[in-house]
Structure 1
C-alpha cells in the first residue's frame, strides 16, 4: 500500500471517509494516516480505526468500502455493542483485527462470509457465547485470535478442520476436553491458558507437530501423566504447563529439545529426577517448584 499523495483518493472513497469519521478532509485522503490506497486504482485498501477516532458505534457506511483488504479497529474502548454487521459486506478482507474494544455479544455469524480471511483477531474484547464452528472452515485462515474475551463452552470438533498454524484461545471461560481432532493440526503456536479445560491434551504434542514452537496450557484443570509425552524437537522453545494437575515425571526426551528456553511445569503433581542434559538445567528453578516430589538440578532438592 502507498500513502503517497501523488495518487488522489477515489472520490467515492473520499465521500465515504468523510461520513465514517464525521469530518471533511481538505487534503488527499490517501495521505490520511489511517488509510492505505492502491497505487494503481487509488481505491482505499487498508483502514485503521484506532485510538477512539470513532466513538459509540461505527456508521454502517463502512460496509460500502468494499475494496478494503485490511481493516483494523483497535484500542477504542469507547466502541460498544455488537461487532458492526456492515463488515459482512467487505468480502475482500484478508486481514481483520478488532481488538482492545468494548464490543460485546456473540461472535457474529456473518464472519463466515469473509472467505478471503487469512488473519482474524478478535482479542481483548468482551465477546461472549461459544466459539462458532464455522470459524474453522474459513478456507484461507492461518491465524485465529479469540483470546482475552468471555467465551464459554467447548472447543468445537470442527477445530480439526482448521488449516491455520496459530490459535489463541487463552483467558476465556472455555471448558471441556481438547478435541482429538486438534491434534492432527501442524501448529506453530497454540495458547489455551487460563480457561477451565480438563482431561489429557497431550495429543497436541504429536509427531505431526513438526512446526510447534510455542504452547501454553497453563492454569487449567488438565489431569494427565506426562511421563510418556514426546515433545517435538525441531522448533519448540516455549512450553508452559504450570498450574494444572499433571502427574508422572518429566520425560527424558525433553532434554533433547535444543531450543527450549521456557519449560514451566510448576504447580503440578510431578515426581522424580529432572532429566540431565539439554536445556532443562538452564531453565529457572521456579519453573519446577510446587510439585509432589521433583528433584535434582536446578532444584536444591536432592534425589
Structure 2
C-alpha cells in the first residue's frame, strides 16, 4: 500500500514492532496506534515520515530516548508519546518543527494540504470516525475532523524523561497544548516559556522542578489550564489575570509557594521589613546605649571633679596634704 495515508489501530491488543515496518510509507500523515502493547526501542531506528501530521503512540511499551528524527518532521502537529518508558532528555531542537513554531505557518501548512493537487485535501485527512483521543486541558477527549485542523499538541507525560526544560522551548510559539507531567524533569522554568503565546494548556506537575514561577508568564493570556503541582517550587505565585482563574490544585504539593489561590500567605516582604525594622531598632538601641554610657561617664567625671574640689575647700587637712603631694611631684 504505497499510498497509505492514515493508519488508525488504537485500542487493540497489538504487540511487537510496528514503526520499522512503516519505513517505506512516505505518504503517511496519521499514525494512531495508542492503547496497545507495542514494544519498540525508539532512539536509533525511528523512520523518517516526511509528511506526518499526527503521531500517537500513547500507552504502549516504547522505550529509549527521544530521537532527533522528530525534529525533521516539519508538518508534525500532534505528537503523543505519553504513558511509555521513554527516558533521556527533552530535545532542544523541537523548535525546528515549523508547525509548532508559528501560527502563521500553521495556516500555510493547512493551505498546502488543502490546495496541492498531489495530496488529499485536509478535510479528508482526518477521518470523521472514530476520531483521535488526545489529552488536553486535563481530560482525554475525542477530536474529529474540523477541530484537528487547528490543533497543535505535544504530550510526553508519564515517562521517565529527565534533565531540564531547554530555553529553546520558548520558540514553540504556535504550540497550544504541552504536557510534561509525571516525569523526572528538574531545574527551573525558563523565562522563555512566556513567549509561548498560543498555549492553552500547560501541565508540568509531578516532576522535580525548583525555583519560582517566572512573573513573565502572566503574558500567556490564552492559558486555560495550568499545573505545577507536586514539584519543589518556591516564591510568590504570579498575580496575573489568567493566574487568578487557576484553583489551589494547580499549585499544591509545593511547600515553598505562597500567595493566592493558596492559603499560605507570603511573608518574605514582611520578613524583610521586620529585618529592616530590627536592624533599625538595633541601631537605635545601640546609639541609645552609647549615648547613655557617655552621659554616665561625663556625669561621673563632673561629679567627681567638683566633689574633689569642694572637699579640698572645706577640709583644711586634706588641702594641706594635697599641696604637699604636689610639691613633692615638682
Band of TM-score, shorter chain: 0.5 to 0.7
Give the whole-Å Cα distance in 1 for the aligned partners of 2:168 and 2:58. Answer: 18
Q: CA deviation at 1:302?
A: 0.5
Q: CA deviation at 1:204?
A: 5.8
Give the whole-Å Cα distance in 2 for the aligned partners of 1:251 and 1:283. Answer: 16
Q: CA deviation at 1:112?
A: 1.1
Q: Is 1:119 the equivalent of 2:82?
A: no
Q: Is 1:166 the equivalent of 2:78?
A: yes
Quick one: structure 1 residues 204 and 172, their matched pair in 2 at CA, closer, same or farther if it must change by over 3 Å?
A: farther
Instruction: Name the structure, 1 or 2, with higher relative contact order (CA <8 Å, separation 6+).
Output: 2
Question: Residue 242 of structure 1 aligns with which residue?
Answer: 205
Give the whole-Å Cα distance in 2 for the aligned partners of 1:227 and 1:233. Answer: 11
Give the whole-Å Cα distance in 1 for the aligned partners of 2:5 and 2:182. Answer: 33
Quick one: structure 1 residues 265 and 149, their matched pair in 2 at CA, closer, same or farther if it must change by over 3 Å?
A: same
Give the number of the structure whose residues are more often helix, by fraction. 2
Gaps of 5+ in 1: 1-89
Q: Is 1:155 the equivalent of 2:155?
A: no
* Number of positions where the alignment pairs a residue of Structure 1 with one of Structure 2: 213
Residues 149-187 of structure 1, C-alpha deviations (whole Å, 9 max, x = no match): 011111112222122122111000111112222243243
What SS does the aligned partner of 1:243 have? Answer: coil
Q: CA deviation at 1:93?
A: 1.2
Of 134, 137, 140, 2:48 maps to 137
Question: Residue 11 of structure 2 aligns with which residue?
Answer: 100
Give the whole-Å Cα distance in 1 for the aligned partners of 2:70 and 2:200. Answer: 24
What SS does the aligned partner of 2:10 have? Answer: strand
What SS does the aligned partner of 1:102 have? Answer: coil
Residues 205-230 of structure 1, C-alpha deviations (whole Å, 9 max, x = no match): 222x1211100000000011115343
Question: Residue 32 of structure 1 aligns with which residue?
Answer: none
Give the whole-Å Cα distance in 2 for the aligned partners of 1:280 and 1:233. Answer: 16
Quick one: structure 1 residues 128 and 281, their matched pair in 2 at CA, closer, same or farther if it must change by over 3 Å?
A: same
Residues 225-260 of structure 1, C-alpha deviations (whole Å, 9 max, x = no match): 115343334321100000000011101111111111
Report if aligned partners of 2:208, 2:231 keep a CA contact under 8 Å in 1. yes
Output the TM-score relative to the length of structure 1.
0.67
Give the whole-Å Cα distance in 2 for the aligned partners of 1:294 and 1:227. Answer: 17
Report if aligned partners of 1:136, 1:159 keep a CA contact under 8 Å in 2. no
Give the whole-Å Cα distance in 2 for the aligned partners of 1:227 and 1:203. Answer: 6
Report if aligned partners of 2:218, 2:243 keep a CA contact under 8 Å in 1. yes
Report if aligned partners of 1:152, 1:173 keep a CA contact under 8 Å in 2. yes
CA RMSD of aligned residues (A): 1.7
Question: Residue 199 of structure 1 aligns with which residue?
Answer: 163
Residues 23-62 of structure 1, C-alpha deviations (whole Å, 9 max, x = no match): xxxxxxxxxxxxxxxxxxxxxxxxxxxxxxxxxxxxxxxx
CA radius of gyration, larger in: 2
Question: Residue 177 of structure 1 aligns with which residue?
Answer: 89
